[in-house]
Amino acid sequence: MSLIVLTIIAIANLLILFFLLLVVKPRTAANRLLAIILLDPVLAMLLILAIYYKKADGYPALFYVSYLYDLLWAPLLYYIFRLILHKGIRFSFQRHILHFSFFIAGCLYFSIFALQPEAYRQEVFAATISDNYPWQLSILDYFTIIQAFFYLYIIYKMARKHNRDIEQVFSNTQRISAKWIERNIVLAFFLCAAIYFPTMINAKSMTLYLIFVPVCSMILYCYLVYHAISSPAFGQETLEIIKNSEVVIEKKEKKQLISDDEIHTQLAQTLETVLVNKKQFLDPDLNIQTLAEQCNTRLHTLSAFINHHYNKNFFDYINYYRIEEAKKLLSDPDQQKYSIDTIAEKSGFTSRSAFYKAFKKNTEFTPSEYLKQTCPAVK
């Protein structure tokens, strides 16, 4: 009885999230696609209950749709994250066919299955909770697992690349970071393993499904929906800077840049003036385009110089100066009346978590630990 209650709560939770995504503003295409995906675990839980209580043969449409939805959610999730990361979806008939090939194969199978005699269909329904699990459904299950993990992998790689790209351009990445996507995909990977593999090992493990699917669905989709709604969309200016930073330097120009000592010296001196004397790094919205304009050089030239000369991306390069400023402020007796959060803000950081992470990365100490070592009298 408790499993039924848990399943009903999970279904209600997912339906609430479904309607929330449809009505929340801005009504983006990504949120609408995500709302459609939420129906997948709802149908899966309804099917599991029907099979568990031997009612599946009375609801064949539920059986078909639930299986097909399992083959649909992974490519849809891929499209969702492409929209969230503003990668765009190019119209290509062949590409779309490829993405939904498993789903199309499932449609063909169930079209043939629906034409079989009723006795045969009921026999298949009954076999789903027996030791003689139908081989046709086993193949579909393996397709589902392969497709799910494949798309989780390429989405994770896409989010990682996005995060690396923005760290080449912005000194403050919190508002446009895709770290939450990486975390969501890692969570989805383990939850999919928890849901799929027990039933592949033991076809009778419906009880495990009744536990894992409701709990995993509530955890995964609540986390995903929260971030999909709360994460702000990128502004047009942000997208233009990212696009401009992706200009590839010609090999000849790149080699000349790396080997030309005069260019190194001039650019290093200019950066010293802008960052050390003028302290432009204190601007939390500083980006590489603004810095390139102040240094009177091209964006991708400055990016290549920072990467090769300092062996840092733009994000880490600017944070190095901010942490040096924070260390001075922490060691200054006149500044010790201020809290660490205030010191972080004065150093150009917009959040406590970003400051602590950067400080630990540059000094191997937290701000409190550093303060105790440099100023033992301060508690």
Would residue 201 count as lying in a domain? yes
Same domain, 333 and 271: yes
Task: Give the number of domains in the chain.
Answer: 2
Q: What is the residue type of 48?
A: I
Which residues constitute the domain of residue 10? Answer: 2-238
Provide long-range contacts, Cβ within 8 A and 24+ apart, for 98-107. Answer: 99/75, 100/72, 100/75, 102/71, 102/143, 102/144, 102/147, 103/68, 103/71, 103/72, 103/75, 105/71, 105/143, 106/67, 106/68, 106/71, 106/140, 106/143, 107/68
Whether 155 and 216 map to the same domain: the answer is yes
pLDDT value for 156: 92
The neighbouring-strand residues paired with 287 are: 170
Mean predicted lDDT score pLDDT of the chain:
79
269 and 357, same structural domain?
A: yes
292, 202: one domain: no
Domain of residue 351, CATH code = 1.10.10.60
Question: How far is residue 155's CA from residue 224's CA, in Å, rounded to a whole number?
Answer: 14
| 126 and 226 both lie in a single domain | yes
Task: Give the per-residue pLDDT at 309.
Answer: 82
The verdict on 281 and 176 lying in the same domain is no
pLDDT band for position 248 (cuts 50, 70, 90): very low
| 254-260 contact pairs (CB < 8 A, 24+) | 254/304, 257/301, 257/304, 257/305, 257/308, 258/304, 258/308
195 and 46 within one domain:
yes
CA–CA dist 117, 293 (Å, integer): 73
pLDDT at 153: 93
Q: Kindly state whether residues 130 and 165 are assigned to the same domain.
A: yes
> Two tokens at 271?
């950066």
Q: What is the pLDDT of residues 263-306, one digit of tens each?
A: 677 888 888 888 888 888 899 888 888 888 888 888 878 888 88
Residue 379 inside a domain? The answer is no
* 250: pLDDT strictly greater than 50: no
Residues 226 and 311 in one domain: no
Could you report the per-residue pLDDT of 81-123, keeping only the tens digit for each? 888 877 666 656 777 788 888 888 888 888 888 888 888 877 7
Model confidence at 321, pLDDT cuts 50, 70, 90, reads very high
Q: Identify the CATH number of the domain in which residue 172 sits.
A: 1.20.1070
Confidence of residue 56 (pLDDT cuts 50, 70, 90): low
Q: Which of 206, 238, 270 is the last residue of a domain?
A: 238
Regarding whether 336 and 248 lie in a shared domain, the answer is yes
248 and 233: one domain? no
Q: Among 125-139, 149-163, 315-329, 357-371, whose mean pLDDT is lowest?
A: 125-139
Instruction: Read off the pLDDT of each residue in 146-162 and give the average, rounded to a whole number.
Output: 90
pLDDT band for position 246 (50/70/90)?
A: low
Q: Which of 24-28, 125-129, 270-274 has the highest mean pLDDT?
A: 270-274
